Chains A and B, each alone.
Chain A
Amino acid sequence: MLIDILFWVLALVSVASGVAVFMVDSMARATYALAVSFVAVGIMLVMVNLEYIGIITILMMVMEMAIMAVYMVMYMGMNPALMPMDMTHNKRWSAVLAAGTFVLLATGVLLIPWPARIGAPAADLTASLGEAIMGPKMLAMLTISPVLFATIIAGLVIANPRGRYDRWGDDLKRGTPDDPMQGGLGR
């Protein structure tokens, strides 16, 4: 009973703080409202015995929101992001899109013939999750990892405004790199 009440309270909190993301007038509040929503979802995952996934969701999302707040302020330009501002844009089409998606998903939930549960959950869900990822799916993970890593490197290379020739000179023979910010290793 108590568990049920807690679950519904968390469900309400997650939806309400999700709504708050678009209602508040500050970048920081919007970001951390989203973080609260994710934390509520994470606790709900823990409540259905998915401890690892639930806690890691909270970890990743709080970390991500802390960084996202910085980027949101940065991309808005310092001034507007530090002042009260509207969190919505293109209101009519977003409303249409949101309502349409909701109707589609809700219809799906109600109309799909949900299958009955086959088998029982493993005793240690964290270990079985690890085995599921690292065992039969290892080949997929090994293939995806380098691709993702290469994408990150490529993204950085494309975005990097100053390469090694800027830093170390045309023949790469400068003694100390010419950096706008000094310090770090060997400088």
Chain B
Amino acid sequence: MAATRTMGPFMADAIVQVSPAWAVLAPVGLLLFALAGAGLNGALTARSAGRPFLSGASAPLAQVARLLRQRRQVTVAADVLLWRVGAGGLVVVALLKILVIPLGSWTLADLDVGIVWFNTMDVMVWALFWLIGWGANSAHALVGGYRFLSLAVAYELPLMFALITPAVAARSLRVGDVVAAQQHLWFVTWMPIAFVIFCSSVIAFSSWGPFAAAVGRDIAGGFLTDVSGVDRLLILTGRYAVLTAGAAFAVPLFLGGGAGPLLPAWLWTIAKTALVLAALITIRHRVPTIRPDRFAEVAWVIVLPATLLQVLIVAIMAKGS
């Protein structure tokens, strides 16, 4: 799998694959980001409720403590195996996603097909959210799982084309090559449609903000209805982790990776990831929830052709350059 690579013309600060031993730091970083995201969300919630900012920011820690102590409730005739797989899988999928995301110039897995790898991991989320909904053997949870799948059918194709657009410009599915191709100009500047659609899809596959109908209040919390204790903790953490992984992937894909003045490359990656994540978290407090059944038509009639148009323009420009 560790294929050697010939040095191309752009390889001034090439992405290098570091020892797998560094992988132990990946979960730490991911969970810290997830916690920071949850803290920001708590702070924003507190502010809109008129409570002090800081009381909200520490709310996630209190919730972690509460959920760790909470006794696990099991519904009648629950499919416990599939339920647990769904609950535990989200964090795992988020971790697998960040394997291919370079931190500055270091990456854990410099796959030939890193972009496809990321795409595969976000498809795993389809299965996991549905399994969480299915496992509880309860109507509202199952409706939540189905809602997520109906949303997934709407966002996945635009997401795939948004992922392909930087790959077309870089002429490679390797994340390192995509970063190298942005040495002179970040992709966000000349493929803004793909960037916006990618970010929206990240929000969607995290079942977050405007795309959180699957955990909507109108169905009593959707697939979160019956999960409690450590399962609930894993799912909530997993949602933030998946959101973080998506925000982090926007950096090598559209925002030039670790490129930036003064600071070291790894710090730029972290700073850009934090900025994107903060934007994704904040949007939840600004935009109403979108109904998946109505959104499907918009996604297929407007968003999908927009991404195709974006790929076409980028392909023509990449061919010409």
Tell me whether A63 and B81 are in contact (CB under 8 A).
Answer: no
Mark out the residues of chain B between 92 and 126 whose CB falls within 8 Å of any chain A CB in the assembled complex: 111-113, 116-117, 119-120, 123-124, 126
| Complex-state Cα separation, A52 to B119, whole angstroms | 12
B24 at the interface (CB under 8 A from A): no
Tell me whether A184 and B116 are in contact (CB under 8 A).
Answer: no
Question: DSSP class of B's interface residues: helix, strand, loop or mixed?
Answer: helix
Tell me whether B82 and A29 are in contact (CB under 8 A).
Answer: yes
B37 to chain A, nearest CB (A): 26
Given known A-B contacts A26-B79, A32-B127, A59-B120, A67 and B293 have beta carbons under 8 A apart: no
Residue-wise interface mask of A (46-61) relative to B, using a CB-CB cutoff of 8 A (1 in contact, 0 not): 1101011001101100
A44 at the interface (CB under 8 A from B): no
Count of inter-chain pairs, beta carbons less than 8 A: 76
CB neighbours of A65 from chain B (8 A): 127
Tell me whether A183 and B1 are in contact (CB under 8 A).
Answer: no
Stretch at the interface among B216-224, B253-261, B275-283, B297-305: B297-305
Q: Which residue of B lies closest to A63 (CB)?
A: B123
A94 at the interface (CB under 8 A from B): no
A124 at the interface (CB under 8 A from B): yes
CB < 8 Å: which of A62, A123, A126, A185 contacts B127? A62
B265 at the interface (CB under 8 A from A): no
Mark out the residues of chain B between 1 and 19 whose CB falls within 8 Å of any chain A CB in the assembled complex: 1, 3
A21 at the interface (CB under 8 A from B): no
Mark out the residues of chain A between 21 and 51 whose CB falls within 8 Å of any chain B CB in the assembled complex: 26, 28-29, 32, 35, 46-47, 49, 51
Tell me whether B291 and A183 are in contact (CB under 8 A).
Answer: yes
Question: DSSP class of A's interface residues: helix, strand, loop or mixed?
Answer: helix
Given known A-B contacts A26-B79, A32-B82, A184-B294, A66 and B130 have beta carbons under 8 A apart: yes
Tell me whether A185 and B302 are in contact (CB under 8 A).
Answer: yes
| Complex-state Cα separation, A56 to B156, whole angstroms | 14
Interface residues contributed by chain A, number (CB under 8 Å): 28
Given known A-B contacts A58-B120, A181-B293, A184-B298, A28 and B112 have beta carbons under 8 A apart: no
Tell me whether B173 and A126 are in contact (CB under 8 A).
Answer: yes
A42 to chain B, nearest CB (A): 9
B247 at the interface (CB under 8 A from A): no
Tell me whether A126 and B112 are in contact (CB under 8 A).
Answer: yes
Tell me whether A55 and B120 are in contact (CB under 8 A).
Answer: yes
A11 at the interface (CB under 8 A from B): no
B131 at the interface (CB under 8 A from A): yes
B3 to chain A, nearest CB (A): 8
> Would you list 15 pairs from A and B whose C-beta atoms are within 8 A, ordered by A residue?
A26-B79, A29-B79, A51-B112, A58-B120, A59-B119, A66-B123, A70-B130, A124-B112, A126-B112, A126-B113, A126-B173, A181-B293, A183-B294, A184-B294, A185-B298
Q: A183-B293, A184-B296, A184-B298 are in contact. List 12 more A-B contacts (CB 8 A).
A: A28-B131, A29-B79, A35-B127, A46-B1, A63-B123, A63-B126, A63-B156, A66-B130, A66-B149, A66-B152, A183-B291, A185-B302
B residues with a Cβ closer than 8 A to A are 1, 3, 79, 81-82, 85, 111-113, 116-117, 119-120, 123-124, 126-127, 130-131, 134, 146, 149, 152-153, 156, 173, 291, 293-294, 296-298, 301-302
